[in-house]
Structure 1
Amino acid sequence: MSTGPQKYPGASTAQWWQSRWGGDPMEVNTIVWHSTEGTGLPDYAGGSAAPNFTALPDFDAQRLTWYQHFDFDISSRALVNKPGGVETNTLNVCQVEIVGTCDPAAHGKWTARHLYTPELPDWALRDLAAFAKWAHDEHGVPLTGDVVFKAYPASYGANGVRMGAAKWNAFRGHCGHQHVPENDHGDPGLLPMAAILARAAETAPAAP
């Protein structure tokens, strides 16, 4: 069922969770973006709540270090899924966690260097755009997303931008955890998604 390369070039598999937790094969058409609300690489409770990818900032090198936990076209585990509702983790979504925070309160008090999603440095935008471009070029994930990213904490819970079942089932492109039904998280807050996708589209060919 899965087509295209399953490993993102250069990504580390030092935290590979697919062999432990399996996952369902999919043909990904959507990227769901998260923020970890921390400064280090999480272990995701032994992989039980892991995404497909984690982007960890290397501030000295001014780049993102990528960790891959599941194949691109295998479902991961970072979303809530409630019985009797829509599918979330398994509905053709690849999930990416950005190590950092969307919370202005955390941003204001943390002393360690960290990414704050509303104010990402240019090198982080560059590397997130590179991933979006790869997902587009190799898997046809649209460089679009007709959703509004809201700033945290207004993005938490019933936030006015969370999708209903019909829109979620039909959605293609890029969205955040704050948009996924059956979930209440507000990450990744005011992620500059439009800027990331515009940068990715500068050299991306038309979707197949």
Structure 2
Amino acid sequence: MESAPKKLRLGVLLSGRGSNFLAIANNIRSGALPNVEIAIVLSNIADAPAIAAARQLNLPTKVHVSKGRPRAEHDRDMLATLRENNVDLVILAGYMRLLSPEFIHAFPTRILNIHPSLLPAFPGLDAQTQAFEYGVKIAGCTVHFVDEHLDHGVMILQRAIPVLDTDDAHSLAERILAEEHQAYSEAIARVASGQYEIDGRRYMKRV
């Protein structure tokens, strides 16, 4: 009798409402994202709404408050918790802190982030507003591996949407978020499959 395949264990880092985290959790529970499980949900904000949501889902949670602490010291606590929970892949889901080099080196090509623009355009904060005010006709989101530079790592996938004449910055952000909820789980599934290779800055699926 064959044993069940080992599930990829996710460590989810977040700071706010965590809508991307909830989309991922729902896809795992529904079976749309198989062979993946959430090992731990971590927040740097004690009263982050997503932590309360994770507890309602009976997921393991932990808070390491970052305010007033050196980044490297805080990140060491985060890393220790991830290791204690045997995390394979780290997912940033609205985690509003830059990671220290020590953290990134601990999980090489094992940290994912989603950004609400078609990188390399509009990195940093308020990307949707940046895109809208620039007047682009196509917007979207990017899931990428995290490296030492802001919104810079190898891109796994992108999803694009047209910018409508009826859009404002808020409506554009909401439509991009709907794409994010699909894109993140798709990217996790791709990484979980192991059927890919990285050549320079190119992520390529193995045939």
Same fold (TM over 0.5): no
Structure number, greater radius of gyration: 2
Larger relative helix fraction: 2
Greater RCO, CA 8 A, separation 6+: 1
Larger relative strand fraction: 2
**TM-score when scaled to structure 2?**
0.29
